[in-house]
Amino acid sequence: EVQLQASGGGLVQAGGSLRLSCAASGFSFSDYSTGWFRQAPGKEREGISWISSSTGSTYYVDSVKGRFTVSSDNAKNTVYLQMNSLKPEDTAVYYCAADRSTLLTYYPPREEEFDYWGQGTLVTVSS
């Protein structure tokens, strides 16, 4: 059974850091690419970052560039999103998603590209 398990969310003060994890079971991240999405209250879900675990290629939307870092540990079959210098506007439910393609078609990533989704983890940044 294919599953993605996102974790690591929580409450943090503005300027703080969190690291989100996305653990996969039932498939190997090394054969997939992974996107991170977030959905803030009252807003649509948006793609914010992407990584190809096979090539190491990454993408960041402008609003997180320079503050967030996506990485992949193929041995642990886990993708991470290190989030630094967090702002209140980063408050959202964060989701990871896996795509069988190792290429990113849309910039920023679009939901329809991705085949498997994790359940989401809540990040709350207080001012």
Residue with token string 């054969």: 31
pLDDT (tens digit per residue) in 86-98: 999 999 999 999 9
Structure token digits, residue 80? 């991470």
Is residue 29 scored above 90 in pLDDT? no
Residue with token string 């498997």: 116
Is residue 30 scored above 90 in pLDDT? no
pLDDT (average), residues 92-108: 93
Q: What is the pLDDT of residue 102?
A: 85
Q: What is the pLDDT of residue 53?
A: 87
- Taking Cα atoms as reference points, which of 29, 28, 14, 16 lies closest to residue 80? 29
d(CA 23, CA 104): 20
Is residue 38 scored above 90 in pLDDT? yes
Q: What is the pLDDT of residue 115?
A: 93
Q: Is 86 helix (H, G, I), strand (E, B) or coil?
A: coil
- Assign 2 a pLDDT band (cuts: 50, 70, 90): confident
pLDDT (tens digit per residue) in 65-78: 999 999 999 999 99
* pLDDT greater at residue 31 or residue 40: 40
